[in-house]
């Protein structure tokens, strides 16, 4: 199956939700006009990391910005994925939602790994389920930024036949080579496409790195951004995953019987 994907490598204005929403809507419209099937917006694109004021932004999944993003999907007839602050049981979560072209929510994933350098553990709850969803093109894994550093999170996606992993991020320029290499590693070791969008501009005085990319199952970037705003679009063929997995049958050669069960 072929899939046309756009990455909205975007800047944002800290805490300016309405301005950021207008900007995001423009990206979605442009991706739809380019006949993309899916567009990804970066991590916390609406608010940025204003976590101490999370109550200003966070809402349940059926309120606030969530239905507005769903309406963007429906209006432009394109799948849209992004992360927003969700309020759930009195806590805030960094939640990756994916909406179909009819506005239906295909899935929601609450970020599991909290980044201590930004005090996420102080302000955010931790998700307790992996983000494997059923999309029309097949099982799809979801991840958010810091999750990329945890390979054990991605292996279950591949073992459950996911051919595609989607990642939204706010990754700094100072560690951008880690980002680029980890994207390739996750693609190679799981023999899948990795689709990752990152912010640009500045956040809390730190320059963000961009370098959004789509990586194929061999670890080859099919498209990659620089450090400026851009809509990056590429078409992938998910059948390539099956070819790679047949050529090097890594999953048939696994030895879970001798692995540490706690890993």
pLDDT digits (tens, 9 = 90+) for 203-220: 999 999 999 999 999 999
Give the number of other Cβ atoms within 10 Å of residue 225's Cβ.
20
Q: Which domains does the chain have, with CATH numbers?
A: 2-253 (3.60.110.10)
Distances (CA, A) of 184 to 4, 65, 151, 178: 20, 32, 12, 10
Mean predicted confidence (pLDDT) in 231-250: 98
111 has catalytic annotation:
yes
Residue of 43, 86, 87, 120 with catalytic role: 43
145 has catalytic annotation:
yes
pLDDT at res. 64:
98
pLDDT in tens, 146-194: 999 999 999 999 999 999 999 999 999 999 999 999 999 999 999 999 9
- Strand 230-237 to strand 164-169: parallel, antiparallel, or no bridges (unpaired)? unpaired
Residue of 87, 120, 145, 199 with catalytic role: 145
Mean predicted confidence (pLDDT) in 51-78: 98
Residue of 82, 86, 87, 111 with catalytic role: 111
43 has catalytic annotation:
yes
Mean predicted confidence (pLDDT) in 231-237: 98
């Amino acid at each position: 199956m072929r899939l046309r994907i756009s990455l909205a490598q975007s800047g944002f204005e800290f805490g300016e939700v309405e301005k950021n929403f207008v900007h995001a809507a423009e990206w979605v419209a442009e991706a739809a006009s380019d006949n993309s099937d899916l567009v990804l917006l970066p991590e916390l694109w609406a608010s940025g990391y204003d976590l101490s004021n999370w109550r200003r932004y966070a809402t349940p999944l059926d309120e606030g910005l969530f239905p507005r993003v769903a309406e963007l999907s429906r209006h432009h007839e394109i799948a849209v994925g992004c992360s927003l602050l969700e309020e759930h049981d009195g806590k805030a979560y960094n939640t990756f939602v994916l909406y179909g072209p009819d506005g239906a929510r295909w899935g929601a994933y609450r970020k599991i790994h909290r980044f201590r350098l930004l005090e996420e553990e102080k302000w955010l709850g931790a998700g307790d389920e992996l983000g494997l969803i059923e999309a029309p093109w097949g099982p799809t894994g979801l991840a958010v930024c810091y999750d990329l550093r945890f390979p054990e999170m991605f292996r279950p996606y591949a073992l459950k036949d996911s051919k595609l992993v989607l990642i939204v991020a706010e990754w700094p320029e100072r560690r951008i080579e880690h980002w680029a290499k980890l994207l390739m590693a996750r693609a190679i070791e799981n023999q899948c496409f990795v689709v990752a969008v990152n912010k640009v501009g500045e956040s809390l005085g730190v320059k963000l790195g961009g370098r959004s990319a789509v990586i194929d199952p061999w670890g080859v970037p099919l498209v990659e951004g620089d450090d400026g705003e851009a809509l990056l679009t590429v078409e992938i063929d998910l059948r390539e995953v099956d070819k790679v997995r047949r050529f090097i049958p890594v999953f048939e050669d696994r030895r879970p019987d001798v692995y540490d069960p706690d890993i």
